[in-house]
Amino acid sequence: MSCKHASIIVLALVLLCRVGILQADTQGSRESNRDVLIDLLGTALGCRISEEFMVDLPVSSLYSNAAGACEAINAENAADGFYFADPACQNEISFRETGQLEFCNAALDKSALGNADDLQGQPSFWTLSPGNRYDLGARRLAGLSQPFMTRTTYREVETAGGTCRLEMRVYKSSPAATGLKSIIMLHGGSWTSRGFGFFGMETTIPNFTDAGFVVFAPFYRLLDEKEANTACHNASITEIVDDAHVALDWVIDNAASFGGSDYPVVFGQSAGAHLAASLAVHETEKVSNAVLFYPPTDFTDFALRALDGSYTDEQGLGILERVMGTTVDAVDLSASPVPENTFPTIVEPNPSAFPPMFFLHGLEDTLVEARQSVRLCHALAGNIESGAVPANYLEIDSLRQRYDCNANDSEIHLAKEGDHALDVCISSSIFFGDTCLSGSEESRVEVGQAIDAASNWASRIADKRAELRNPGTDETPPETTGDSGGSGGGTLLWALAGLLYLVQLRYRKFGAADK
């Protein structure tokens, strides 16, 4: 086992042994150990430890006229209350500090995260989320700014468990910023969880708010009962997809009130990338372009490879059966939800009808194989089975290879050493080495550059598509309406717990070859 794998496991073992509940290495006990670690990290001690991974980020000022003149206030030090978001003291907002321990407790409350019951249909205050300051990504946060965040409700749906009220989080460089492009960011988590996927995504958000976007981050119902409140449990994949489509319509209707456009980009990681791809494929007139990190795009291909033994990832097979609602050998490829979630087959006959797409995928990903991105990339050029990506792409020599999928601005980036969730990367003096799903340090740099390329591509193509949609209109550059002063204040708490699990899986995969 390498030092980087050992380091996170050693920390986890120490914490777990202190509470005397470390169990044997079985699938069930691994999940139990992870839950214990999550609980422990939710304590005040664990929360303080997590600050090791936080960095200071500049924040746009708030303003006050309490002294008779409109004066800038450092948002990090602002007391709870009403302020103005602009230097003319015209745009009044409610602001409240979110402390580190409060953030930890909320982040780790499985029934509360994403649950909008407490909002009672009204938007919340603006705040600075500590989650945006965790430097856990392959793309480091240096040079970025911390966005402001507010919460609101985008959907109420009646289920067998009651009324599921789904939360939308909105992130902006400043509450008063206007002339922004809109992006919908959908979290991953195998359609069964929120915490690890959402807060991993939250570390990526500053890349996009700094690129001129207002970020809309919706939660959605889940397949089982592990997370979320009872009313949002036991949804079908079709109902989860419907939540994403409702979120899209909500953003189109409400983006202007947050300074954004009504022609959003869609973004997702893993299960969230599947939902983003669904929006791009089935709502072609409403979506500007799509950024897809390690997306499941082809349910038919997944099922066929599982049936013939080509796909053997144990965790993935379990997810597939939960999604399908049956065992793999009983899946009907002609019945819902398979055809409508086989995106390459839908796109292939008329690829020019679909918005441009950006793919990032690791070649060491055995949970969602890179072929899931490659097949949709090829479909965007009209031939699923062959295209810009060579047949031997698993053997590429470079750490990262970029290919143009078609002449319509779609592109794919393949990372040779990248595993699933390759954009998550921990480097810290707490550990003896790095725990980085990007691979080596050299690969981390390449993946970080790909993430930069993704946000730049999203902005550039959104501008281009807006011009094509409304010829002759000038895109207004973002107005941040505030200087950048003071320092700010996806999350260590979930990332450490999730990475513990992923590292164990990865070690089993590589075995002695990694010693």
Is there a domain that residue 336 lies in? Answer: no
State the average pLDDT over residues 486-497.
42
pTM: 0.86
Is there a domain that residue 8 lies in? Answer: yes
Tell me how far apart the alpha carbons of residues 8 and 317 are, in angstroms, rounded to a whole number.
26
Is there a domain that residue 485 lies in? Answer: yes
Q: Between these two residues, 11 and 333, which has the higher pLDDT value?
A: 333
Q: How far is CA 117 from the centre of its chain?
A: 23
> According to the model, what pLDDT value does residue 2 have?
44
Query: Percent of the chain scored above 90 by pLDDT?
Result: 68
Question: How many folded domains does the chain comprise?
Answer: 1
Q: Which residues pair with 186 in a beta bridge?
A: 268
- What's the CATH number where 412 sits? 3.40.50.1820
Is there a domain that residue 64 lies in? Answer: yes
Please check whether residue 430 is in contact with residue 256, taking contact to mean a CB–CB distance below 8 angstroms: no
Q: Which of 506, 496, 423, 505 is nearest to 195 (CA)?
A: 496
Is there a domain that residue 317 lies in? Answer: no
**Would you tell me how many other CB atoms lie within 10 Å of the CB of residue 376?**
31
Tokens representing residue 189 in the block: 């988590």
Tokens representing residue 141 in the block: 């946060």
pLDDT-based confidence at 472, cuts 50/70/90? Answer: low
Please check whether residue 57 is in contact with residue 133, taking contact to mean a CB–CB distance below 8 angstroms: yes
Is there a domain that residue 304 lies in? Answer: no
Burial environment of residue 474 by CB neighbours within 10 A (0 to 12, 13 to 18, 19 or more): exposed
φ, ψ at 126 (rounded to 5°) = -90, 150
Cα–Cα distance list, 102 to 81, 152, 203 (Å): 18, 19, 18
Q: Which residues pair with 435 in a beta bridge?
A: 426
Is there a domain that residue 185 lies in? Answer: yes
State the average pLDDT over residues 261-272.
97
177: domain range? 3-298+342-514
Single-letter residue type at 92: E
- DSSP per residue, 475-488: PPPPB--S-EES--
pLDDT tens string 136-183: 888 999 999 999 999 999 999 999 999 999 999 999 999 999 999 999
pLDDT-based confidence at 17, cuts 50/70/90? Answer: very low
Residue 479 has pLDDT above 60, yes or no: no
Edge-first strand order for the sheet with 148-159 is 148-159, 162-172, 213-218, 181-186, 265-269, 290-293, 357-362, 411-415, 400-404
Is there a domain that residue 311 lies in? Answer: no
